[in-house]
């Protein structure tokens, strides 16, 4: 007999299953590591093995689903600037940001620091990413 508790538990299991498969796929986790982790978390060996097999079978589809579901901010283009304001366009929207001189200098410094950190991170990544 089906009751609300079993439906809720089923939905919870589906969410947990999605999380267990999508998170590792998003980080390109080896299937053997996934199996070891879920067994360490208390899943019986035979269930961990089955989960690994499902993950191996659908890994590329899971990775594609993760890629397609990532939130992407639209690209912004600066269209005008002055010492106290910045106008940029993103998609069909135009934004005007006005700040006093000190705030604008801090904003510029923050952006430069972020770019520098991103360049450093990029330098640590392997060149042969697929």
pLDDT, one tens digit per residue, over 69-125 is 776 666 788 888 888 888 888 888 888 888 887 888 888 888 888 888 888 888 887
> Taking residues 63-71, what's their average pLDDT?
80
Which residues, in sequence order, are bridge partners of residue 89? 77, 94
CA 99 – CA 104 distance, rounded (Å)? 6
- Report the alpha-carbon distance of residue 69 to residue 16 in Å, rounded: 17
Average pLDDT over residues 14-38: 85
Whole-model pTM: value is 0.48
Per-residue pLDDT, 1: 43
- Percentage of the chain beyond pLDDT 70 is 86
Q: Which pLDDT belongs to residue 22?
A: 84
The b-or-e profile of 1-26 (16+ CB within 10 A means b, else e) is: eeeeeeeeeeeeeeeeeeebbeebbe
Judge whether 85 and 98 are in contact, CB under 8 Å: yes
d(CA 19, CA 43): 15
């Amino acid at each position: 007999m089906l009751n609300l508790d079993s439906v809720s538990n089923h939905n919870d299991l589906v969410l947990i299953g999605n999380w267990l498969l999508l998170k590792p796929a998003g980080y390109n986790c080896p299937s053997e590591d996934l199996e070891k982790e879920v067994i360490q978390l208390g899943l019986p060996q035979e269930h961990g093995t089955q989960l690994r097999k499902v993950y191996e079978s659908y890994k590329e589809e899971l990775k594609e689903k993760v890629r397609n579901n990532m939130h992407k901010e639209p690209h912004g283009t600066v269209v005008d600037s002055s010492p106290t304001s910045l106008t940029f366009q993103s998609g069909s929207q135009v934004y005007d940001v006005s700040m006093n001189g000190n705030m604008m200098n801090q904003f510029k410094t923050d952006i430069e620091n972020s770019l520098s950190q991103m360049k450093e991170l990029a330098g640590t990544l392997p060149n042969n990413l697929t």
